Amino acid sequence: MAATSGAGVERTLVLLKPDAVARGLVGRLVARFEDAALKIVGVKMKHLDAESTRRHYFDLEERAGSVIYNATAEFMQSSPVVALALEGVDVVGKVRKIIGGTFPEHAEIGTIRGDFAHQTRLSSETTGKAVMNLVHASGNPEEAKYEISVWFTGSELFEYRTLAEKYAY
């Protein structure tokens, strides 16, 4: 699963969550990653069931409690999500910058969450609903490897060279 394009090249997982899909933002969000010279090496749309939600969020209940896990699971199973495996130099860090802070009220304008997500942490806690922040992205390279393996088989990940790689790597 390791990328072979050059030094510092890695892969990460991005999920375009149900709110992004329902709002018709998939193309605009994917364009942000492509505009940053990140390469899509895997893409699929999937409706999560309880088992796939548990595999992806395997430690959320332990870290945050059952109330947050249940709200997140319900939200993630409410509509299809689009999973992207992205590749690039320091891709985990770049994607985290592109998407912005976890809570939309802390996300800078110019980031995905700062531009498109408007729910606050307080409103989420008050309503008992998951934070609708449009995207999930792996937090570090180790997490990315695990998450990509949950979402993609080896045959669903592609090796190819983009024109941008000629200049970026």
Q: What is the dihedral of CA 115, 124, 25, 12, to 10 degrees?
A: 90
Residues 132/155, Cβ–Cβ less than 8 Å: no
Residues 99/59, Cβ–Cβ less than 8 Å: no
136 among known catalytic residues: yes
Q: Round to whole Å and give the CA distance between 101 and 118.
A: 12
Q: Catalytic residue among 47, 106, 118, 136, which?
A: 136
Give me the residue label for tokens 């997490």.
143
Strand order in the sheet with 9-16: 39-46, 81-89, 9-16, 135-137
Residues annotated as catalytic (active site), given as ranges: 136
